[in-house]
Structure 1
Amino acid sequence: MPTRHLSITTTGGACQATLFAPAGASSGPAIILYMDAFGPRPAMDLMAERLAGQGYAVLVPDLFYRFGAYGPFDAKTAFSNAETAQLLRRMITETTQAMTAADTSHFLDALAEEGFSGKAGTVGYCMGGGRALNAAAAHPDRIVAAASLHGGNLASDAPDSPAANAAKIKARVYVGVAGVDGSFPPEQSARLAQAFREAEVDHLVENYVGMKHGWCVPDHSVYDDAGAERHWKRLATLFDETLRE
């Protein structure tokens, strides 16, 4: 799979990113993959490669670039170590939704500079889930599809939650929810679906019974192969029906 390593200039500094493009492709639809809390790493690369294999250019930016060199973190052990867990929580908190939404403008510009200036989609995992949805709210003229998998706090009381931004979203939305997830309890799921309905967002919020937070990502301790394959089918449908139209 052809890859290009990019340094994207943003208002926050230089964001390192990897672009995965189908062989021979110099234009076409693109997807931004928003990482989980553990950073860009081989597991994220494998997921990006799978999407690129379906005919999309896929950009994987390091959302934590403001912190300089770090990790990546071990998805199986990072939160079980007190020092690492504290650092991770700080990085997540201090990399705000507003920062990622602003960065997304530069991500889209970088894709355009590489020739991929058409329709775009987003997909995010864990902390990236809300960012993928908020990116669609911040850039409705370009992002036509957005997916969140085991994203947390999607309908919290925070003013920057995706539920609060639902009226700005023009994209088709898919939300895959872990069966039991303390970061996205049933009341938030219901609130998010209601916000989407009221905003007339084309959406599907789907519960993955028995899956745990992180089930989609292959280096997570709770990875589930059947559940992951189900999410890949949903993404294929979402992106094929929006980015290829």
Structure 2
Amino acid sequence: MTSLDIETPDGTAEAYLTGEGPGVLFFIDAIGLRPQIEQMCDRIAGWGYTVLAPNVLYRSGTAAQTSPTGDLRAPGAREAYFELVGPRLAALTSDAVMRDLPAYLAALREHSEGGPGGLVGVVGYCMGARLAVRAAGLDPAVVAAAGFHGGGLVTEEPDSPHLALSSARAEFVFGHADNDRGMTPEHVERLGQALAAAGLTATNEIYPGSPHGYSMADTSMYDEPGAERSFDALEALLARTLR
């Protein structure tokens, strides 16, 4: 495991790199590139993959500057922290993401099996699920794409993430949070319709009882059944597509 810097058109993004084997690009949630993310990357790497997690919030600061210093499992701590998150997400526009993605994918391929143009997988959590969908739509060599407790995957905007599915070639796995205002059952249904219209193989499910953020063990939203279900689904997806 190591850290590296990725040069993008807009600056330098730190990244966490771990494992060896086929490449998996890990898109973080809005809480930042922090020990919890590194632990999740290490777990995926343990299945036999090279995992790269860039600090996609680099426009707002370093990984340390954009990660919490307190315990987000304490009552009200997560909610208070998210008061800082809005401006960071505002800086991460869809145009900015599309400028960043080629650099992240190139860095992953440089350090994983397969070389330039090699087949890779992507996985994203919360806001990172949107980035995973955009990456799959951008690069047809992305053969596996997963999103867990993602929000805003289906919007009325002309750059809604779900519209990128029309150019994707990946197999998709989505594990949506239960009672998520950012991804309602109607949104999930529309996402399923877009997946079907694009002719994509996909699993598109709501995890009962698992709240938004269910996979993050360092916050008050952690739900072990949902988290373990997501890891099982991701491991199976990667095995089907990258092995």
Q: Same fold (TM over 0.5)?
A: yes
Residue 100 of structure 2 is aligned to residue 107 of structure 1: no
Tell me the equivalent position of 1:71: 66
Question: Does 36-45 or 100-109 show the bigger shift?
Answer: 100-109
Question: Does 49-58 or 153-162 show the bigger shift?
Answer: 153-162
Tell me the equivalent position of 2:219: 220
Distance 2:8 2:110 in 1: 14
Identify unmatched segments of 5+ residues in structure 1: 23-27
SS at match of 2:95: helix
Tell me the equivalent position of 1:9: 7
Distance 2:77 2:55 in 1: 17
SS at match of 2:178: strand
Q: 1:227 to 1:89 in 2, by over 3 A?
A: same
Query: Pick from 89, 93, 108: which aligns with 1:92?
Result: 89
Question: Does 108-117 or 37-46 show the bigger shift?
Answer: 108-117
Question: Does 98-107 or 165-174 show the bigger shift?
Answer: 98-107
Distance 2:93 2:77 in 1: 21
Structure 1 position 66, deviation (Å): 1.2
SS at match of 2:209: strand
Structure 1 position 162, deviation (Å): 2.4
Question: Does 55-64 or 109-118 show the bigger shift?
Answer: 109-118
Tell me the equivalent position of 2:135: 135
Tell me the equivalent position of 1:32: 25
Q: Counterpart of 1:106 in structure 2: which amino acid?
A: A
Identity %: 37
Tell me the equivalent position of 1:25: none
Q: 1:233 to 1:68 in 2, by over 3 A?
A: same
Distance 1:176 1:71 in 2: 26
Q: How many pairs does the alignment contain?
A: 234
Any idea what the Cα deviations from partners look like across 1:57-80, whole Å, max 9, x if unmatched? 000100111122313125445553
Q: Note if contact 2:23-2:112 (Cα within 8 Å) is conserved in structure 1.
A: no
Q: Counterpart of 1:182 in structure 2: which amino acid?
A: R
Q: Note if contact 2:78-2:220 (Cα within 8 Å) is conserved in structure 1.
A: no
Structure 1 position 135, deviation (Å): 0.7
Distance 2:108 2:216 in 1: 24
SS at match of 1:174: strand
SS at match of 1:59: strand
Tell me the equivalent position of 1:21: 19
Distance 1:232 1:160 in 2: 29
Distance 2:33 2:226 in 1: 22
Q: TM-score scaled by structure 1?
A: 0.90
Tell me the equivalent position of 2:190: 191
Tell me the equivalent position of 1:125: 125
* 4+ long deviations beyond 4 Å: 74-79
